[in-house]
Structure 1
């Protein structure tokens, strides 16, 4: 008698959808599922392996012996092997032993749909049936307003393994510990969202999680799936959204992973010009294969469905869009129209976004895309890729280049700091100061700033002030908010001891207040993706290295005026023109933020409580104000 009983979770319609690449809930069918059949408890296993001659489930329950528990192949051409194994249940360790038709190659693979994986360096899958009762109904009911494009969206990017470690053990916090410490911290800092670098299971710590082997399993490094659910739940109860880094662009060659899965190029493209990534020495998905697209889109929906995730930040989109990405002439083949675009990947991204927003209209998708590809954040029906937002890599590069220059030279580089406004509304941009900017010898944000110690802190506060008042949403990587002085090291905790020093504590207070400012002033978010929400007052005063501009919301009276002084020289009696239709003569403007405040580590000089609007023409405007500009500071004024 067979040790595997015939049983299936698939209907004929499921199979039709799967073959067509339109089954987007595959996690409900493929993988391992504890079930009861004819009164017997056990587990149903199903795996896609069309080039297999036989597939056995091996694990600790059968001493890893091949052949004792052979799955049955479906005879509908789907390539799915399945069956029910009695008395195998929750917590069982297993893999698939696959013998291929191709040269009788044998592979031993983790389950691509496993809900849990062993703690690395172990590589097996775990039969897992999550049991968690969510308490975030209030958030889920109202989260559309938290994720909309006309609401505040300020993101704290976190690498879970290095955010904070415990004392002498140098152990990373668990999901449960972070449900207290991290949630409280992000709430205290007034961020609206947290973004986790990849938490899907990955074998190699130095990859930071960007080389995935367990797409449906939160990494076991920090605890169990229910404990990760608790972390998400606690963030939601605190009114904070959760975004996950998601990597559909490439995957590693590890023996237990997706590569050469059934002895064939199943998940990866068979042509190395399209299936091998030279930068990351990893494999690239075959986006033209129906079942692969269904796998990836099912995975995106899985996290939104099962883990209540509020958004996906899609990694390395540029590498997916172009066939010649990081390739020399002769190393790539043009598409059917002679172009360099990867048409299959583009079609996949379009379908991904349409499907995500159709099923979860209250979430966001965010593209890390570094090229000038048009329409990344435009709807698919308008010819775009359909993302909600796109990282503004050009702004990040130009801003960091500008700020590392000694202020005496900045007047020659005014264009670097203003250029972003020439294309700021071509996409729905998020301004990222991410983990990529504080590694590989680039130095920490603080360490890039020039000048004396006081000037370096002032420069960083000024840069954050400029960032939070620039159109678009914001992202800051962990440590930047309190001026981490050393470059990020994924093996070590952030330098929390720095907060005993006033300058670092002041930086933290400044970022907190910038978040409060952003959240409390509609002019900074209601039209953050529209040119109606921005107006230059003066962009060409390079001699003084000063910028002034307006941010506008739906109500003219809520407009805010921003002035940035990019030098350590105070500008006394500095005049700024203001539009008379908003700022009438004799009306008073109140300073609502100045990054030179003493509690931020500034000098406390040149603060302006109020300034009166005068009927003095300036900057091509009828009215103006006159004030003293604090050195290396962002100043924000409102009626």
Structure 2
């Protein structure tokens, strides 16, 4: 396109229809240049289109769009600077029905419940996160700690009880960033921020894929939030939903009276579980739309990557008998990942995938789907089922805590305890634990130590650091008042120390994706429900982990260790400072040089009830 016009070039049109216009946001939507405003739209089933807005009393007089291709590209140039104006598209369908739609490429929309697009330019923000980006390298993510704080901005903290009593992106940056730094997280994952009409969809049912929701402020306010995260060393991952969209009248559903964005066949189109419509991933124009959307958030908002929602709903046709692969969905995901990594090699592309589809995190050129991480849903389900089982019956489910190591290195995994596990009657993590008040806290401390020691990166939902008894209340803020209670305050002290240990002890993360970094010590102790294993780093430094999921503690418990010499206790979940019974190992521990558990030596240690112990090898002579 020329410097004075946004009129679509033949080449841009070819790329769009081919499915390869990966920066379609530079052409489609509303753009202001040289005191003129340009509108470009894809509406293949429209008979006529007019731009209506507050600049023409919503009447569309003299603002009829010109159809520039037979495939349904429409264009209009208005010789005015309409920056800040409200607008919609008035579409006359082939059946004669008049439809008013929000621009799919609108960079900003009105605050719900209003739905018009806003002519808005995103080029004015002055970024200050150059160091963050210059320090990123594609390979370093695999060998570095990654602890992700899943965040819903609307309920992290609220000003009041009303639906609009929300803190802004800028206000939240002053509170959220110091908090997650203090807690020890490396990244935040923000639940979907694309514009959405219904608060309690949490952003998963979107209408405005290119518009950051107005609930928390203007686009540049969210840019400021991301910028400040980066300046404080925090990565920002965005929850993203390329599989389906909501059916609200102003959105993508039946956009031009036909099925432009969704499948024409109702059996493939309808997502009966979520009451949404599935994107038609056989359409190359939809590829251009969605892949452009991913690049847009990285380009304009400096997002570091995406947690891609409901990937199994893309792998498989949702309404067909059995698991029938959707070749269009598979092809789209490969194309998406190739485009994202070509644009940003250090990006995080995380599949929220509950299926057993192979090679999800293998590169496309090696026959994989091309993500670089995948949520380990199997681990999460097995572990939570085990933890919710009374300890007297856990011996019968011993295998659920070990099975994940059979496939732990088949993909690059993230271990998730997300919002999905603490809402809709599923109970909080703390309340899932059986037993009395003390036993619940002890088992939650144990669970998190087991999680941190298990191979894979980590994700926890906001509030976990407080050990709430209540599940997520998606209309209220996190239970910050819990910090007034001793047990919760002690738990938070423990949580911060656990995350500090995780980030500073290389054996706990450096070989997360290499089987050389893990070894079972005792995997068969069903009767006592005790597991012991070791983690090591590239240099061979070792941490021994002992986890007791039973209610009985042990003194002088023998554990085989891979090195002789001196060990010291790195962390004990039963420390009195954290609310435990203080069955700790205060002094340095000297190995007995006798084979045990298949190891060359063993140690005698205190193993607390419902407790976990991390032991670090010092050296053969006890020097640090």
What interval of TM-score do these two structures reach, taking the shorter chain for normalisation? over 0.9
Bigger Cα displacement from structure 2, 213-222 vs 370-379:
370-379
Give the one of 572, 582, 586 matched to 1:604. 582
Q: What are the residue-to-residue correspondences of 1:117-196 with 2, within 5 Å? A: 117-130=109-122, 131-144=124-137, 148-167=141-160, 171-196=165-190
The equivalent of 2:244 in structure 1 is 250
Matches within 5 A, 1:475-554: 475-554=459-538
Distance in 2, Cα, partners of 1:146 & 1:384: 18
Q: Within 5 Å, which residues of 2 pair with 1:80-99? A: 80-99=73-92
Q: Are 2:592 and 2:602, in contact at CA under 8 Å, matched by a contact in 1?
A: yes
Is 1:239 the counterpart of 2:233? The answer is yes
User: Which residue, out of 551, 559, 581, partners 1:576?
Assistant: 559
* Residues 2-51 of structure 1: per-residue CA shift (max 9 Å, x gap): xxxx9534222111111211110000110011111xxxx13111111122
**Whole-angstrom distance in 2 between the partners of 1:398 and 1:578:** 27
Say whether the 8 Å CA contact 1:147–1:153 is kept in structure 2: no
Which deviations, in whole Å up to 9, do the C-alpha atoms of 1:268-315 show, x marking residues without a partner? 010112111110111111111111001000000101111111110000
Give the paired residue count.
612
Alpha-carbon contact 2:428-2:472 (below 8 Å) kept: yes
Q: CA RMSD in A?
A: 1.6
1:169 Cα deviation from its structure 2 partner: 6.0
CA distance in 1, matches of 2:586, 2:403: 29
TM-score (norm 1): 0.93
Distance 1:257 1:167 in 2: 30
Q: Match of 2:239, SS? A: strand
> How many Å apart are 1:98 and its aligned residue?
0.8
Q: Deviations over 1:573-611 (max 9, x none)?
A: 1111122xxx12xx1111111111222221223334421
Instruction: Report deviation, 1:147.
Output: 6.2
Distance 2:8 2:538 in 1: 51
Question: Is the contact made by 2:177 and 2:229 (CA closer than 8 Å) also made in structure 1?
Answer: yes
Query: Residues 439-481 of structure 1, C-alpha deviation per residue, up to 9 Å, x if partnerless?
Result: 1111111111111111100100100000000000000001112
Stretches of structure 2 lacking an aligned partner (at least 5 in a row)? 618-624
The question of whether the paired residues in 1 share the 8 Å contact of 2:63 and 2:76 is answered with: no
TM-score (normalizing by structure 2): 0.96
Contact 2:353 2:375 in 1 (8 A): yes
Contact 1:269/1:275 (8 A) holds in 2: yes
> 1:30-429 to 2 correspondence within 5 Å?
30-36=28-34, 41-74=35-68, 76-100=69-93, 102-130=94-122, 131-144=124-137, 148-167=141-160, 171-323=165-317, 325=318, 327=319, 329=321, 340-429=324-413
Indicate how the Cα distance of structure 1 residues 351 and 257 shifts in structure 2: closer, same or farther if over 3 A, else same. same
Counterpart check, 1:624 vs 2:616? no
For the residues of structure 1 that align with 2:461 and 2:7, how far apart are their CA atoms? 43
Contact 1:15 1:78 in 2 (8 A): no
Counterpart of 2:621 in structure 1 is: none
Q: Distance in 2 between matches of 1:627 and 1:65?
A: 80
User: Does the Cα contact within 8 Å between 1:607 and 1:630 map onto a contact in 2?
Assistant: no
| Superposition deviation, residue 118 in structure 1 | 0.5
Q: What SS does structure 2 have at the residue aligned with 1:165?
A: coil
- C-alpha distance 173-306 of structure 1, shift in aligned 2 (>3 A): same
Alpha-carbon distance in 2 for matches of 1:501, 1:627 = 31
Match of 1:12 in 2: 10
**By how many angstroms is 1:629 displaced?**
0.6
Distance 1:146 1:435 in 2: 29
Contact kept? 1:414, 1:542, Cα under 8 Å: yes
What is the rounded CA distance, in whole Å, between the counterparts of 2:50 and 2:140 in structure 1?
A: 45
Distance (whole Å) between structure 2 residues aligned to residue 426 and residue 114 of structure 1: 40
Distance in 2 (alpha carbons) for counterparts of 1:541 and 1:344: 47
Alpha-carbon displacement from aligned partner over 1:239-291 (angstroms, at most 9, x marks no partner): 00000000001001111101111111000010112111110111111111111
Whole-Å Cα distance in 2 between the matches of residues 525 and 252 of structure 1? 39
Counterpart residue number, 1:335:
none
SS of residue in 2 equivalent to 1:116: coil
Q: Does 1:561 align with 2:544?
A: yes
